[in-house]
């Protein structure tokens, strides 16, 4: 540490009345880290490692499951890393990792990070993001390693860890270890997660309202069993990749995507490749314009292919069950070709039905019907459904929740979040939901990151690059300001960089409004936020 002695002398002169704080600031952080014994606070845990991370260094993770695709992570901030194996039952455990910044940079805040899909992969990039802003940060493996659900087979306790328990363990133990490490309590705790991690955040607020003061939720995998069924249905709807009427990726990305933009792009008054009004688009879009006519067989679709397109974008409804899940996001088909529209079974759904719903590793995805959807909902493995109709306890505890969901989501339909929000409003009529929960639809945002719109709002490490950490431009900063200063956000300013590269400059900025409002074009240069204002569409 440069100028260490001078810094310590200055602190001692200025703060003689606070000897304990001075000692913490002046002591050798590396020694403090390596001498830390987490078992003094958590005697039931097993230590996997305690290590010091120097500033501006790359940390490798040789023992991380390769399917997590996280072999290493660059850390700007020095930190103390602690990894523990914590039993959750007599046949399950979870790995939790804790990262502590130096005492003089810790802001007194704790940040829990979520996972994705059905995986057990710690998002080290989000941990580094939290450290950069002075959080003591935690992550867990959800009770299993890697992206597969095989660990669920015949072990309901592992499913329970995945559903909610692992995150609760991380929150509770994170608070204990943070106090032990710094010698003082944290003053606020936060959570950040998208997709499966978003679902975990809502589950935490519902089941353990005291775990977090602020919860940042992105594209949550709500109504998880029916969502898994909807995803499984795509293999049946599109057919296998080599089937006669299969629509290939080139057709989805070109012919179909261009027709959707032709019918819907300019509904907001701007031709920019972004569907700003997805509900209006759903009401008018017709795939019939793509039907081959007059013996034409190119740049058009067969009658059966037209019906496939119609079914993909229609709500998933069954005569016996009723409404199951909203239709695929119009405009998301370009990235949708990577998974749901690829003509292969969606892996997360396949694993959920095989290892969690049926405990049958040979279940055939080609046999899927809505009867499987009904069975998944009946079994509800690990209580993973996640569709709370009240968050009153979270509200009463003083908690705040910010939700964002891209309207160009190729994996989890944004309308599902809005449907849950509407149910929540209807069921909590005695409460003003705006006082503790706000949702922001983000046109042009794909699943959690990337997209054609002003998608960077600081929602994760990738989306934070080049975006100021302010309440106006960063959802995590906005959540902190709401929790700690009682300033609730009405809009978040999104940024789109040229080629998604901050070094190339800003392509456009646009406000994203508190749902149900939307950004309305006022005329002028559509790439600047002053040309838009929030209003009812």
- Residue from 45, 166, 189, 195 carrying the catalytic annotation: 195
SS3 206: helix
Query: Distance between the two ends of the chain, CA-based, in angstroms?
Result: 55
Burial label, 536 (beta-carbon count in 10 A; 0-12, 13-18, 19+):
exposed
Among the listed residues 117, 141, 124, the one whose alpha carbon sits nearest the alpha carbon of residue 196: 117
Pairing type for strands 506-513 and 491-497 reads antiparallel
- Residue from 409, 414, 449, 531 carrying the catalytic annotation: 409
Instruction: Let me know if 31 is a catalytic residue.
Output: no
Distance CA 136, CA 99 (A): 6
Residue with tokens 């299993």: 144
Is residue 404 a contact partner of residue 440, using CB atoms and an 8 Å limit?
yes
299 contact partners, CB below 8 Å, separation of at least 6 = 255
Distance CA 537, CA 490 (A): 16
Instruction: Let me know if 119 is a catalytic residue.
Output: no
Task: Tell me the CB-side half-sphere exposure of residue 325, using CA atoms within 13 A.
Answer: 29
Residue 19 phi, psi dihedral angles, 5° rounding: -60, -35
Chain Cα centroid distance, residue 25: 35
Among the listed residues 154, 168, 105, 97, the one whose alpha carbon sits nearest the alpha carbon of residue 131: 105
Instruction: Let me know if 447 is a catalytic residue.
Output: yes
- Residue from 257, 405, 439, 447 carrying the catalytic annotation: 447
SS3 508: strand
Residue 283 CA: distances (Å) to CA of 15, 147, 313, 328: 66, 37, 11, 14
Task: Please give, one letter per residue, the 3-state secondary structure of 23-65.
Answer: HHHHCCHHHHHHCCCHHHCCCCCEEEEEEEECCCEEEECCCCC
Tell me the residue length of the chain.
537
Q: Which residues are catalytic?
A: 195, 409, 447
């Amino acid at each position: 540490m440069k100028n260490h002695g001078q810094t310590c002398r200055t602190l001692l002169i200025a703060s003689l009345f606070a000897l304990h704080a001075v000692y913490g600031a002046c002591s050798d952080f590396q020694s403090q880290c390596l001498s830390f014994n987490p078992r003094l606070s958590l005697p039931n845990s097993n230590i996997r490692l305690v290590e010091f991370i120097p500033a501006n260094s790359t940390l490798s993770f040789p023992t991380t499951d390769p399917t997590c695709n996280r072999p290493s992570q660059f850390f700007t901030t020095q930190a103390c890393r602690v990894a523990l194996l914590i039993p959750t039952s007599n046949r399950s455990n979870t790995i939790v990792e804790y990262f502590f910044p130096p005492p003089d940079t810790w802001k007194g805040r704790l940040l829990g990070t979520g996972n994705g899909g059905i995986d057990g992969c710690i998002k080290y990039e989000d941990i580094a993001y939290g450290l950069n802003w002075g959080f003591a940060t935690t992550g867990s493996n959800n009770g299993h390693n890697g992206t597969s659900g095989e660990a669920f087979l015949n072990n309901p306790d592992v499913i329970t860890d995945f559903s909610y328990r692992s995150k609760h363990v991380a929150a509770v133990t994170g608070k204990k270890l943070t106090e032990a490490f710094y010698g003082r309590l944290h003053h606020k705790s936060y959570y950040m997660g998208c997709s499966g991690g978003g679902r975990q955040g809502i589950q935490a607020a519902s089941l353990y309202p005291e775990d977090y003061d602020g919860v940042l939720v992105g594209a949550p995998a709500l109504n998880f069993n029916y969502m898994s069924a909807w995803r499984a249905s795509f293999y049946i709807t599109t057919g296998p990749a080599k089937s006669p009427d299969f629509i290939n990726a080139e057709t989805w990305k070109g012919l179909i995507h261009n027709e959707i933009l032709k019918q819907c792009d300019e509904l907001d008054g701007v031709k920019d490749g972004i569907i700003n009004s997805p509900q209006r688009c759903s009401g008018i879009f017709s795939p019939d314009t793509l039907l081959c006519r007059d013996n034409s067989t190119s740049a058009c679709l067969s009658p059966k292919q037209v019906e496939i397109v119609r079914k993909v974008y229609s709500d998933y409804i069954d005569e016996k069950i009723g409404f199951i899940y909203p239709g695929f996001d119009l405009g998301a088909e370009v990235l949708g070709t990577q998974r749901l529209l690829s003509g292969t079974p969606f892996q997360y759904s396949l694993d959920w039905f095989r290892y969690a719903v049926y405990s049958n590793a040979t279940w055939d995805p080609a046999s899927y019907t809505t009867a499987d959807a009904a069975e998944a909902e009946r079994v509800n493995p690990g209580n993973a459904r996640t569709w709370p109709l009240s968050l009153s306890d979270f509200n009463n505890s003083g908690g705040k929740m910010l939700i964002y969901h891209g309207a160009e989501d190729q994996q989890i339909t944004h309308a599902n979040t809005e449907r849950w929000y509407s149910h929540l409003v209807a069921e909590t009529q005695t409460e003003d939901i705006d006082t503790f929960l706000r949702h922001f639809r983000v046109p042009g945002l794909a699943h959690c990151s990337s997209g054609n719109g002003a998608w960077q709002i600081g929602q994760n490490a990738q989306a934070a690059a080049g975006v100021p950490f302010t309440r106006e431009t960063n959802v995590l900063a906005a959540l902190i300001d709401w929790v700690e200063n009682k300033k609730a956000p009405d809009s978040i300013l999104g940024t789109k960089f040229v080629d998604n590269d901050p070094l190339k400059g800003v392509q456009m900025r646009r406000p994203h409004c508190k749902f149900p409002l939307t950004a309305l074009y006022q005329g002028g240069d559509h790439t600047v936020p002053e040309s838009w204002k929030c209003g009812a569409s």
